[in-house]
Structure 1
C-alpha cells in the first residue's frame, strides 16, 4: 500500500526501479509542476481531480473535497504496469483517462500555503515515469460550482501506453499482476468499493472487477482440482 511516508522517502522510486530509464529527473518533475501551475486558465485555488487511487487513498493534505463530474474523458486501464502493482514478468494495467464520455470522482482543494508542498508529493506519485499529461480540466462540483482542476490524462505517446483496453485483455493482466505495492486486483477492487460507497456509477469498473473475480475464482478452482 502506498503511504505518504513512502512518497516522502527515496523508497518510492525504488519500487519502480524497473522503469528507472524512464524516470523524470527532480528538475524535470519540478519544471513540469511549475509549468502546469502557470497554465491555470483562471485565478482560483488549486484543485485536483481524482478518479483512481486518489479517491480511496488520496495522501493529500487538502482543505476541501467533494464529488465532481468531468465531461469529455472516461476511465481506461490503458497504461502497461511493470512495477508497483505489476512486474516485467507479469505486467498489469494502470488507470488513465481516454477521450470521450464522462468521469465522476473526487475533487480536492489545496490550501494556498500548501500548494507547492502537496503538489511535489503528487508529482512524485503520478509523474515519476511521465505516463500522464497534467491538464487543467473544467469540473462540475456537487455543490453546483465549476472549477478548473489538475487532471492526469494518459500520454498516448508514452512507450507504456496500451491501445487495446478490451475487458478480456485488461482483466487477464490485472488478475495476475502484483508488485511491491500490492496486487493489481486489489487496486481495482478498492476503486470499485470506493465508487459504490460514493454512489458513483461506472459500468466499466464494475464489469472489469467482476471479470477479474471470475478469472481468480477459476484459478483457485483449478488449483484445488489439481
Structure 2
C-alpha cells in the first residue's frame, strides 16, 4: 500500500479549514511566482496527490499530466478533475516519459516522502525540454512547521510524517542536479500564531520581505534546464 492511500479520502479536509486555506493560498502564491506557468505549456505534476495543483495548472491553460504512486489519491484526483487532466500511477524516480517532453515540472510537498530524492530531481530535469523549469515546494527543516510535523511523526508511528525527511536549502543544493536558478521562502506564520486569516495575512506580509530561511514554513526552489 502506498504511503498516502489511507489518507486519500480525507486529505483535502485540512485545506477547507481557515488555517489550511491560508497555508494553501500562501503556497500557491509562492509556487506560482517561481514557476511562472504559461497558457499553452505542457506540464507534469510530480506527486500530484489529489490533484489540487494539477487542476490549478490546467485552469491556467496548461496541458497537465499528474503522476503519483498512490492509486487511491489518484482516484480522488480523477473525480476532482474529470477528464481535464491525465493522471497516471508511476514511481517518480522512474518516470514513464521520454526525455524532453515537458515545459514545466512541479513537485510540491513530495520530496520529503520519497525514498530517493536525488533520483526524483534528476528525473524531473530529464523529462523537461531545454529551457524547461523544475519547481519544487518543500517544508524547510529550519522552520516551525517542520518541527511540528517531525514531532507528530515521532509521536504517531502511523502518521505519514513518521518517516518524512525535511531539507534545508543547503541540503537541496547538495542533492539537486545543478545550481538552482531561484529560491523563495514564505509561510512565516507559525502553527501557534494563527488566529484568523486576516491577521495571518497581515503577519505574513510583514515578515515575508525578509526572505530568510529561518522561520519560514515553505520553500520553493527552481531549476532551469539548459
TM-score normalized by the length of structure 2: 0.31
Which of structures 1 and 2 has the larger relative contact order (alpha carbons within 8 angstroms, sep 6+)? 1
The structure where strand makes up a greater share of residues is: 1
Say which one has the larger Rg.
1
